[in-house]
Chains A and B, each alone.
Chain A
Amino acid sequence: MSLEEPRDAKPEIGVTDDGLDYDALAALLGDTLLDREDHVTTEGFVVRPDDVQDALRTLKQEAGFDHCSCVTAQEYQDRYESIYHLKKYDDPTHELSVVVPTSRDDPVSQSANDVYRTADWHEREAYDLVGIEYEDHPDMRRILLPETWQGHPLGRDYDQTQPQVVTLREHANPLQEDHMADDTDTMFINVGPHHPATHGVLHLKTVLDGEQVADVEPDIGYLHRCEEQLCQQCTYRHQIMPYPDRWDYTANLINEWSYARAAETLADIDVPEYAQVLRTMSAELSRMAGHFLALGTFALDVYGEFTAIFQYAFRDREIAQDILEDLTGQRMMHNYFRLGGVVWDLPNPREEFFEKTRDFLDDLPAKLDEYHDMITSNEIFQVRCVNTGVLEPDVAKEYGATGPVARGSGIDYDLRRDDPYGYYPELDWDVVTEDGCDNYARVLVRMQEVEESAKIVEQCLDLLEDWPEDERTLQSNVPRTIKPEPDTEIYSAIENAKGELGIYIRSDGTDKPARFKIRSPSFSNLQALPEMSNGEYVADLIATLGSLDIILGEVDR
C-alpha cells in the first residue's frame, strides 16, 4: 500500500511527509489519552468514556480528522469497547482509531453525537446490537431490531433461542404531537415499509404540512439480516466471501473486495498482479451495473412506473450482468474473489469474452448520449432535480457521506485514488465531482462514473489481452486455514458503488473473526436524508431518496 502525499500543504498537527506522526497526535490529546494500541493500519488511542467528546473534538478541530467513518462496538470478556474510526476527507490514509473502553457492569460512554453527527445512528446501532449506552445521546433507541427485542444479539451472553415478541400497531402515529405551530395542520404519514418508492423495505415516518415535508425520520432494520453475526460464525478462508455479495446487491462484486482487502492486509497475503487486473475489471463492470440500476430506479421515481428510461437502464445492466456471468458463473452473487486472488481466469475462448466486452463498451457512448437526451437534457427533469435535495458539502461531511452522494456535493473523495488498492493507480481515469449538491448533480456524477468505469475496463482488457500466458497467476499461496495473530485489529475500506465500504475485523487467534463490523456507505448516506428533504415537497422527498441510491441490504446489513 503506497501512501499518497496530502494534497494541500497546509500544515496540520501530526502530519509529516510520510504519513501521520502519531506521537504528535498523542501529545495533542495530552492527559485525555490513557494508552496507545497498535492496529494494523493505524493506531488506537484509548480514552476514558467521559472524555470522548473532548478527545474527538480536539482531533477534529486541530488535527483535521473531519470524517468519522464508523463506530465499532464490541464486547470483551472484561469490558465493552467502542472504537471511533476517524479519517480525513482530504487524505483517507490518515487514519486514527479512538478506543473507548467501558466496564461490563455499567457500559455507559459519552456520545460523540455532538462532534460528529453521523455518530448518532452508529451509536444507536452499537446500543442495539452490543448494548453499550451513550450518555447525552439525543435518541437512544434501538435502530435495527424491533423496539420490543430482548437482549443485545452481538453481546456475549445473548441467547439466540429465546422467544421474541414483535408488535405491529395499526395506524401507529408515533409523532402525534405537532411539529408546527398550533395554527397549521400537519399530517403524519407512513412511507413504507412496503411502498413503491422505498426500493426495498424502508420506513419513513413523515410529517407533512400540506404537500411539504415538515419532518422525516427514516426507520430502518426491515432487512437486518445479521450479516455481522454470520460473518463471525464463518471461517476466513472461504466461508465469509459469499456474504459481501449480498450487502449491496446492485453492484455485488465490489463488496467482495472490501472483505478481501481487509483479510489480506490482516493475514498479510499478496495478490498476483494478474488477479489484481481481473479484480479491477470485474469490480468496475459491477459498478456500472449498479449505476445503471440507480439510474433506472431514479427514473422510476421521477418519471413514473415502467418508462422507457427505466427499461433501457435495465437493458444495459443486463448486458453488464451477462459479461459478469461469463466471467464468474453467476448473475448476481458472483463469489469470484478469493483471499489472495480470484477463483478463475477469463472464460475460454478468451477472444470471445474480449469481443463481447468490447462491444458493450463501444456501444456505451451512444447509449449514454441517449440517456442524456432523455434524462439530463429534459427540461422537466431539470426543473424537478436542480436545487432539490440539496446537500451542502459541510453537512455531507458531518454525516459521513461518501461515494457519488459526496462527489455530487463537490467533495473530492474517492478511495480508489486516495487510498489506492488493486490496479487503479496504474490506470488512467478521473474522479468525477459535481458542485451542484442537488439531485441533478448526483445523477450526473453517476452517469460520468459509468464512463470512467468504461475507461478502466477498457484498459484492463488491453492489459489482459497482452498478458503473457505463463504469468497468469490467479492466486497466490494461501494457507488452508487462516489464523491471524490474536487481537490484531484492522479497519480498511474500499470504494464500492455507493461509497466507502469499510470492514473492521478483530481476530482472536481462531480461524473465525471475533468481531466483524461492516461500515456501509448507504447507512451514513441515508442518515442525511432528513437534512436534505425537510421543507421540500413529497415528490422531492421521493426523488431525493432515489438519488441517494440506498440499498437496504447494505443499510441494515
Chain B
Amino acid sequence: MTGPLQATTLPETLSGLLGLNTNDPLQWFLAALIASALVGTLMLTNTALVIWAKRKITAAFTDRIAINRVGPFGLLIIVADAVRLLSKELIVPDEVDRPAYDLAPLVLASSALLGFAVIPMGNGIQIADPETGLAYVFAVASLASLGLVMAGYASNNKYSFLGSLRAVAQNLAYEIPLVLTGVSVVIFAGTLRLSEIVAAQSETLFTLGGLAIPSWYAFVNPFAFVLFMAANLAEVGRNPFDIPEAPNEIVAGYMTEYSSVYFVLLYLGEFIHVFLGAAIVTTLFLGGPAGPVLPGIVWFLIKIWAVFLFTQWTRSAVPRVRIDQLIEIGWKGMLVLSIANLVLTAVIVGVLV
C-alpha cells in the first residue's frame, strides 16, 4: 500500500507551506478551506472557459467561426456572458415551491464541485484521499439527480416536470452500469482509493517500438472503457442521452423556468458535472494525471478537456434516443454488459493473480 501521491494531499502541502499545525483542527480546517478554494476556482475557471469553448467547438464541427468580435478570439465573451446573465432580472414565477426552487441550482452545482475533492489532479493537487474515494465520488455525483428533481418539480411547469422525471429515470438506469463498470477497475487495482488507482496505472503495459504504453485501464480493459464512456454520457445527460433537456421536445427541460443567477448555476452545474464525469474517466481509465514531459495537472486538464470534446462531438453528430429506448438500453443492454464485464474481470484477475 504505497502510493506516491497518497501521502501528501493539498491541505497538507499547504499547511506545510504556510506553517500551519495540522494537528490543530482549526488550522487544519483553514488549510483545507484554502485548498478547496483553489481547486474550486480551478474547476470553475474551466467551466467558465466552456462558455467560450463550447461555442467554438460546436462551430468547428459545423463549419462556422463563432464568436470572434469580443476580445481576442472572442474570449471576452466569457466575461460578458457571465456578467450579463448575472445581471438579468431574476424571475421567480408564481406558485413555485419556494425553498426547493431556490435550492435546486445550488444542489446541482455544488454536488458536482464536491466530487472534485477526492480527484487526484497531479502535482499533489488532491484535497482529500479517503480510502473510499471512488464510492464518495459516485455518491456525490448522483446527488445531482436530486437537484434535477427539485428543479423540475418545484418549477410548477409541465415541461420542467417531464424533464426531471426523465432525468430520474435516466440516472437510475445508468448509475448502476456506471458503478459496476467502475468496480471492475477496482478489481484490477484492488483499492477504492483514487490515488492508488492512479498509481496502479503507471506501470508499463507493453512497449511498442520504444514507446512505453502505460497500463491505463482504457488499454487494459477497453471494453469497460467504452461502457463507462457511454454510461457517463447518460449520467451527465449529453447526446445521445440528453433527453432531460431535449430542447426540441420539452423546451429546456428542468431549467425551463430558471432565469438569471439560477440559470447560471444550473448551466454551470451541468458543465461541472460533465467535467466531473471526465475527471472520473480520467482517473479510472486514463491514468489520471500521468503523462510525459508536462506536469501532471496539465495532463489532467488535457485529459478532461479531451473527454469534454468527445461529449461535444456526440452532441453535434448523434441523434437523441427516445426515453423508452434509453431505459431499454440502460437496463437491458448496459446493465447486462457491465455485469458480464465485472464477472469476466473478476475471473481473469482471479486466474492471473
Contacts and interface: CB of A to CB of B under 8 A. Distances in A.
A304 B58 contact: no
Interface string B236-272: 0001101100111111000000000000000000000
Contacts of A149: none
A300 B64 CA distance: 17
Contact of A303 (B61, B159, B239, B323): B239
Contact of B319 (A211, A306, A384, A537): A384
A365 interface: no
Interface in A283-318: 300-312, 315
A374 interface: yes
Given A303-B239, A374-B317, A378-B318, 8 more contacts: A211-B166, A304-B247, A306-B62, A311-B62, A381-B319, A537-B324, A538-B249, A542-B248
A305 B249 CA distance: 11
Contacts, number: 86
Interface of B: 58, 61-64, 158-159, 162, 166, 239-240, 242-243, 246-251, 315-325
Interface residues of A, number: 32
B249 A197 contact: yes
A539 interface: yes
B240 A197 contact: no
A181 interface: no
Nearest to A299: B319
Nearest to A189: B158
Does more than half of chain A's interface fall in helix, strand or loop, or is it mixed?
helix
Which of B58, B63, B166, B316 has the most CB atoms of chain A within a 10 A radius of its CB?
A: B316
8 contacts: A187-B158, A211-B162, A300-B248, A302-B320, A306-B62, A308-B316, A380-B320, A540-B322
A347 interface: no
A537 B318 contact: no
A309 B320 CA distance: 13
A312 B243 CA distance: 23
A383 interface: yes
Contacts of A307: 62, 315-317
Nearest to A194: B251
Given A197-B249, A384-B322, A538 B162 contact: yes
Contacts of B325: 383-384
Given A380-B240, A538-B162, A303 B249 contact: no
Given A311-B63, A311-B64, A306 B322 contact: no
Interface in A514-543: 537-540, 542
Contacts of B240: 380
A381 B322 CA distance: 10
Contact of A304 (B62, B246, B323): B246
A506 B29 CA distance: 88
Nearest to A315: B63
Nearest to A385: B319
A202 to B, nearest CB: 14
B243 A305 contact: no
Contact of B250 (A306, A380, A538): A538
Interface string A101-116: 0000000000000000
Interface string A193-223: 0011100000000001001000000000000
Contacts of B246: 304, 539
Nearest to B325: A383
A532 to B, nearest CB: 16
